[in-house]
Structure 1
Amino acid sequence: MTRRALHAEWTKLRTSPGTLGLLLMIVAATAGLSAIVAAACSGSTCGPDVALTGVQLGHAVVAILAVLVIGNEYQTGMIAVSLAAVPRRLPVLLGKAVVVAGVVALAGAVAVAGAIGSGELLLPAYHATLRPAAGSVLYLVLIALFSLGLATIVRSPAAAIGTVLGLLYAVPIIVSVVTDQTWHDRFEKYAPVSAGLAVQSTAADPLIGPWKGLGVLALWTLAALLVAAITLRRRDA
């Protein structure tokens, strides 16, 4: 990756009119939903990970932001300009990945801090721990990179957003109605969202270890980016 490609992607992202709004929405959605759930649980026996519930709303905004980073260029035809400006294609994708990961990590850290703050304020017994908090930020970054890879593959921002949101919300619902316990557990362990969110778990005997679950999501993300890199190199803009 060249500095020129990285600078170009950063310039495009920060000058896009919707970027700031989406970053603020990540923080507001994550912290806001966490505060609502924590308030509803105040005085009850909710688990200590309830303060991070907002991540399950914030990850949708993260996915949309990441999809639009490249999806808008495909929609407007500007991707041809981006690829013409850089002799090799992979630095374009890598530059987008680095910039997206950076801004989502920053917004995610602020969002998770806000969610934890609401938990400590509204839940007297709540005590934040490092692993669920840091893991939630990493989870959001991986969701962003996974979404970027998927958007690069399908090229249409609408199709990519629909697919990602389906994976984030429809797949967990489908898994929840699987009656066979063996298959239900397998889906829980290896579906990207349920596996990734295991990093928040404070259960004594989780279905999959917190970091193993995040590792499963990382493998999904790596696969999406590898396929994205191959398709970007082989097809016309």
Structure 2
Amino acid sequence: MKNALHAEWTKLRTIPSNAWLLLAAAALTVVIGATAGAAVKCPTGNCTEDPAKISLTGIYLSQAVVAVVAVMAVSGEYGTGMIRLTLAAMPHRLTVLAAKAAIVTGPVLATGAVAVLGSLLAGRLILPGNGIGPAHGYPSLSLSDGPVLRAACGSVLYLALIALLSIGVAAAVREAAAAIGVVLGLLYLFPILSAALGNTSASRHIQEIGPMTAGMNIEATVGLSGLPMSPWAGLGVLTAWACGALITGGLVLRLRDA
């Protein structure tokens, strides 16, 4: 396992686009979160806004960048044919997949931590000036506040789970464009279907099973009783999706020729 981890780390860090994409994901999260915070106004202080969720709006888009990085860690080798050399050097295929998952998840966790902290800091500076702050009864965007800490840590875990989901899909599908399409479809199709159905029980069920619609509940710090499910339960749904994708990808990797 040690050799597999070293090999996968070498591959990941020697491709410059990976670092740039992760940097872009962090920047995108902060910029979009700050833009959303600047756009939301509540002069009277009687709105039902969630400061943490507003600040973390950027994750809706940056998760797509994380998905691309994770997919390319697997599909990139199939595209170049390098996967044959990898499997010849390390014939234990599940070990190779586990090493890829571990090596990709590490930088994604670091990127997510930077992005989330930057987003919350931007929200802490911007939102009170728009009437969304402690002076109007809103929770302070501080990690000392339990719900905010949960939203912050959960959002970092959310991005890591998106990476694992993407790795599993890529191992099963292999072709990069198709794998990216499948992952983005899984993430963004459920919210579209839910919105199309309106405020119905079917819409609520879709939100409960969708990887993004369920997982994003972890960001909520107010109005928890109105959510389709609790924040941690929602993240559990995303975890189930990631585990299912990794198991499927592992089986395909083990049973099919490279």
Give the TM-score taking structure 2 as reference length. 0.88
- The amino acid of 1:115's aligned partner reads S
2:245 counterpart residue number: 224
**Which residue of the other structure, out of 175, 196, 214, is the alignment partner of 2:235?**
214
Shift of 1:227: 0.6
Shift of 1:47: 2.1
Contact 2:193 2:206 (C-alpha < 8 Å) held by counterparts: no
Q: Secondary structure at the match of 2:197?
A: coil
What root-mean-square deviation, in Å, do the aligned CA atoms of Structure 1 and Structure 2 show?
1.2
Once the two structures are superposed, what CA deviation does each residue of 1:99-144 show, in whole Å capped at 9, x if it has no partner?
1110100000001111101100101114232000000000000000
Shift of 1:17: 2.3
Does residue 30 (structure 1) correspond to residue 29 (structure 2)? The answer is yes
2:141 counterpart residue number: 127
1:147 counterpart residue number: 166
Does residue 175 (structure 1) correspond to residue 194 (structure 2)? The answer is yes
Q: Distance in 1 between matches of 2:3 and 2:75?
A: 21
1:204 counterpart residue number: 224
Shift of 1:180: 7.0
Contact 1:143 1:221 (C-alpha < 8 Å) held by counterparts: yes
Contact 2:224 2:230 (C-alpha < 8 Å) held by counterparts: no
Q: Secondary structure at the match of 1:87?
A: coil
- The amino acid of 1:56's aligned partner reads Y
Q: Secondary structure at the match of 1:123?
A: helix
2:115 counterpart residue number: 111
1:60 counterpart residue number: 64
2:17 counterpart residue number: 18
Q: Distance in 2 between matches of 1:152 and 1:17?
A: 22
Q: How does 1:33-48 map to 2 (within 5 A)?
A: 33-43=32-42, 45=47, 46-48=49-51
Contact 2:212 2:238 (C-alpha < 8 Å) held by counterparts: yes
**Which residue of the other structure, out of 55, 60, 63, is the alignment partner of 1:51?**
55
Q: Distance in 2 between matches of 1:17 and 1:24?
A: 11
Contact 2:101 2:167 (C-alpha < 8 Å) held by counterparts: yes
- The amino acid of 2:249's aligned partner reads A
1:157 counterpart residue number: 176
Q: Give the fraction of aligned pairs with identical amino acids, expressed as a percent.
A: 47
Shift of 1:13: 0.2
Contact 1:42 1:122 (C-alpha < 8 Å) held by counterparts: no
Q: Distance in 1 between matches of 2:199 and 2:21?
A: 39
- The count of corresponding residues between Structure 1 and Structure 2 is 236
- The amino acid of 2:224's aligned partner reads A
The 1:180–1:131 alpha-carbon spacing in structure 2 relative to 1, beyond 3 Å, is closer
Contact 2:190 2:207 (C-alpha < 8 Å) held by counterparts: no
Once the two structures are superposed, what CA deviation does each residue of 1:12-32 show, in whole Å capped at 9, x if it has no partner?
000012111111011011111
Once the two structures are superposed, what CA deviation does each residue of 1:56-97 show, in whole Å capped at 9, x if it has no partner?
111010101100001110111111111111031111100000
The structure whose Rg is larger is 2
Shift of 1:43: 4.3
Could you list the runs of 4 or more consecutive aligned residues of structure 1 that deviate by over 6 angstroms after TM superposition? Answer: none
- Structure 2: gaps of 5 or more residues: 134-139, 143-147
Does residue 233 (structure 1) correspond to residue 254 (structure 2)? The answer is yes
